[in-house]
């Protein structure tokens, strides 16, 4: 690399990192407990049941959820990927913000209500909001996405700079004798290059996750309307088919897949006259990819089933790669360890910049390296 | 530049680490449970172990000359 190229990449690495470091640190720190959200979060105690395949009436559970919340409506049903539970939120209206939902959790086999804390309060919820949107909704999420892009740039430029750096050293060599700064420069570079692939993937998939809102919007304005249009021309009807019938029809229409979410008519994920069900497969990968089915609200008949477009699939696949929740507890522990390493990289990078500006000058780096070489 | 360096590129070990990491990330996602989980853990333990090893080594005082 030419001296000019080196200066250019150093400049990019310095400024892209400096701008996003404080947010990257926040993301790494809040992300740490979130890795274990399933273990730490509200977990209802689930009884052993004699007939594990049984299914209780969902309409009865809905009635029970609504009984305690007069004047409210049920906008969604949320199933769990691993546990036999159904989370039924109630809200003031079909379009209420999810952070205002009140949840009641049921055992899907017995229909029994389970005692569980609300998922939208407590320590983990605060961590989640700080991590995902800084309590600022879609704007905050997109802002963090921008910080993630800068972090990606910082990772790429760091990788480019590793080349000229490594030419002078054996892999794993850490110069300790000359100054603390040089020791930490070597550690920063070494830990950075060791965790490069993981850090790069987690950052990039995080950026994709911040695009959830625009992706939803695109899907709603394109596919959802197209799918619902397939039964246009039918007379409007105020009847609502029972939810149990809707679910049975969906399961019959899409065999081999599991209903994960049901959106009631009038929510942002359905239409005023349709239910929308979101189904998943049963392999590690297909269990992350939602397939929507649109159901006529009056008759309960399935109108259309279709795969999501590629941009939605990109979002679904990037989720497990960001969360690290697809390989059991050991994978989560690995995620946490690598997260701690990236915290060390971020703090050492900040230290290196501070030490460098205190020592006065960007040339120090090269001077020190030359003197270290001479001393060997 | 000496020829030994070109044969032993500074990118050899980082590239290997990146490949092992990518394999570990995809093994548990694309493979279906069982052995693939174990392979994923084993592969991803490599960058963890390398980080820990070099971090501890870097913090130790310099060897006596």
**Which chain B residues are within 8 Å of A334, Cβ to Cβ?**
41, 44-45, 48
Tokens 């990330």 belong to residue: B25
Q: Tell me how far apart the alpha carbons of residues B29 and B36 are, in angstroms, rounded to a whole number.
A: 9
A187 vs B contacts (CB less than 8 Å): 54-55, 58
Cβ of A338 within 8 Å of Cβ of B48? The answer is: yes
**In contact, A128 and A141? CB cutoff 8 Å:** no
Taking Cα atoms as reference points, which of A75, A68, A65, A66 lies closest to residue A104? A65
- Asked if A284 and B21 come within 8 Å (Cβ–Cβ), the reply is no
| Mean pLDDT over the full length of chain B | 87
Q: Which residue has the higher pLDDT, A42 or B65?
A: A42
Q: Is the pLDDT of residue B44 over 80?
A: yes
Cβ–Cβ below 8 Å for A334 and B48: yes
Domain locations in chain A as residue ranges = 3-38+127-209+326-375, 42-118
Q: How far apart are CA A148 and CA A209, in angstroms?
A: 10
Which residues, in sequence order, are bridge partners of residue A273? none
Q: Is A314 on the interface with B (CB under 8 A)?
A: no
Strand, helix or coil for residue A187: helix
Q: Which of A320, A363, A360 is nearest to A6 (CA)?
A: A363
CA A27 to chain centroid, in Å, comes to 12
Question: Within an 8 Å CB–CB cutoff, is residue A78 touching chain B?
Answer: no
- Total length of chain A: 376
Helix (H, G, I), strand (E, B) or coil at A94: coil
- Pairwise CA distance, residues B29 & A41, whole Å: 23
Look at residues A261, A148, A120, A264 and name the one whose alpha carbon lies nearest to residue A205.
Answer: A148
> Any chain A CB within 8 A of the CB of B33?
yes
Per-residue model confidence (pLDDT) at position A48: 76
pLDDT of residue B65: 56
Q: What H or E segment, with its residue span, contains residue A163?
A: helix A137-167
pLDDT at A44: 81
- Inter-axis angle of helices B35-59 and A196-210, to 10 degrees? 110
pLDDT tens series, chain A, 376 aa: 788 999 999 999 999 999 999 999 999 999 999 999 999 877 788 877 766 678 899 999 999 999 999 999 999 999 998 889 999 999 999 999 998 999 999 999 999 999 888 888 899 999 999 999 999 999 999 999 999 999 999 999 999 999 998 888 889 999 988 889 999 999 999 999 999 999 999 999 999 999 999 999 999 988 898 888 876 666 666 778 999 999 999 999 999 999 999 999 999 999 999 999 999 998 889 999 999 999 999 999 999 999 999 999 999 999 999 999 999 999 999 999 999 999 999 999 999 999 987 765 544 455 445 445 444 4
Question: Which long-range contacts does A54-58 make (Cβ < 8 Å, 24+ apart)?
Answer: A54/A109, A54/A110, A55/A108, A55/A109, A56/A106, A56/A107, A56/A108, A56/A109, A56/A110, A56/A111, A56/A112, A57/A111, A57/A244, A58/A86, A58/A108, A58/A243, A58/A244, A58/A247
Given a cut of 70, whether residue B8 has pLDDT beyond it is no
For residue B33, pLDDT over 90 is answered with: no
Q: For position A232, what pLDDT does the model report?
A: 64
Contact (CB<8Å) B52/A337: yes
Task: Identify the residue among B25, B46, B49 best suited for mutation to test binding to A, counting A beta carbons within 10 A and taking the highest.
Answer: B25
**What residue spans of B1-65 are helical by DSSP H?**
3-7, 12-30, 35-59
Query: Which letter does DSSP use for residue A271 in this model?
Result: B
User: Which residues of chain A have a CB within 8 Å of the CB of B52?
Assistant: 337
Residues of A (167-206) whose Cβ lies below 8 Å from B: 167, 171-172, 174, 176-177, 183, 186-187, 190-191, 193-198, 201
Neighboring chain A residues of B7 at a CB cutoff of 8 Å: none
C-alpha–C-alpha distance, residues B30 and B25, integer Å: 9
Cross-chain residue pair B57–A174, CB shorter than 8 Å: yes
Angle formed by the axes of helices A137-167 and A196-210, to 10°?
A: 160
- Angle among Cα A16, A22, A28 to the nearest 5 degrees reads 105
- CA-based angle A259:A260:A261, to the nearest 5? 100
Q: What would you measure as the largest C-alpha separation in chain A, in angstroms?
A: 88
Assess A282–B contact: CB distance below 8 Å, yes or no.
Answer: no
Mind telling me how many Å the CA of A97 is from chain B's nearest CA? 32
B13: tokens are: 């070990």
Which of A188, A198, A348 is most worth mutating to test chain B (most B CB atoms within 10 A of its CB)?
A198
Interface contact B25, partner A, CB < 8 A: yes
Q: Å from A184 to nearest chain B CA?
A: 8
**pLDDT at res. A376:** 45
Distance, in Å, from the CA atom of A4 to the CA atom of A290, rounded to the nearest integer, reads 48
Chain A nearest-CA distance from B42, in A, is: 10
Torsion of CA A210, A211, A213, A218, to 10 degrees: -170
The single-letter DSSP state of residue B61 is: P
């Amino acid at each position: 690399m030419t001296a000019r190229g080196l200066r250019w990449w150093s400049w990019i690495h310095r400024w892209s990192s400096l701008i996003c470091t404080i947010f990257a640190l926040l993301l790494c720190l809040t992300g740490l407990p979130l890795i274990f959200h399933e273990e730490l979060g509200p977990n209802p105690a689930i009884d052993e049941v004699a007939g594990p395949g049984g299914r209780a009436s969902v309409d009865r559970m809905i009635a029970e959820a609504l009984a305690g919340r007069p004047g409210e409506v049920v906008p969604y049903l949320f199933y769990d990927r691993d546990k036999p539970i159904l989370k039924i939120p109630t809200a003031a209206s079909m379009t209420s913000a999810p952070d205002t939902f009140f949840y009641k959790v049921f055992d899907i086999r017995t229909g029994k209500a389970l005692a569980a804390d609300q998922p939208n309060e407590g320590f983990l919820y605060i961590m989640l909001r700080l991590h995902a949107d800084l309590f600022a909704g879609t704007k905050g999420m997109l802002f963090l996405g921008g910080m993630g892009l800068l972090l990606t740039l910082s990772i790429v430029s760091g990788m480019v700079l590793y080349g000229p750096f490594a030419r002078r050293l054996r892999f794993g060599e850490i110069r300790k004798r000359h100054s603390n700064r040089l020791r930490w420069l070597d550690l920063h570079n070494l830990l950075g290059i060791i965790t490069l692939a993981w850090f790069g993937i987690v950052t990039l998939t995080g950026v994709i996750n911040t695009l959830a809102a625009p992706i939803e919007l695109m899907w709603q304005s394109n596919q959802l309307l197209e799918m619902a249009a397939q039964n246009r021309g039918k007379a409007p009807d105020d009847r609502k088919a029972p939810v149990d019938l809707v679910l049975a029809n969906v399961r019959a229409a899409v065999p081999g897949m599991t209903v994960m979410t049901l959106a009631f008519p009038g929510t942002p994920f359905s239409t005023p006259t349709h239910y929308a069900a979101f189904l998943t497969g049963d392999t590690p990968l297909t269990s992350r990819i939602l397939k929507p089915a649109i159901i006529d609200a009056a008759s309960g008949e399935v109108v259309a089933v279709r795969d999501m477009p590629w941009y939605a699939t990109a979002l679904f696949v990037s989720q497990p790669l960001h969360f690290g929740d697809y390989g059991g507890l050991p994978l989560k522990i690995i995620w946490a360890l690598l997260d701690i390493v990236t915290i060390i990289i971020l703090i050492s990078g900040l230290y290196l910049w501070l030490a460098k500006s205190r020592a006065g000058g960007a040339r120090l780096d090269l001077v020190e390296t030359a003197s270290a070489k001479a001393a060997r | 530049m000496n020829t030994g360096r070109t044969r032993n590129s500074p990118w050899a070990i980082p590239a290997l680490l990146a490949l092992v990491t990518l394999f570990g990330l995809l093994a548990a996602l694309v493979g279906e449970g069982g052995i693939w989980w174990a392979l994923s853990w084993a592969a991803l333990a490599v960058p963890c172990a390398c980080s820990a090893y070099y971090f501890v080594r870097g913090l130790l005082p310099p060897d006596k000359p």
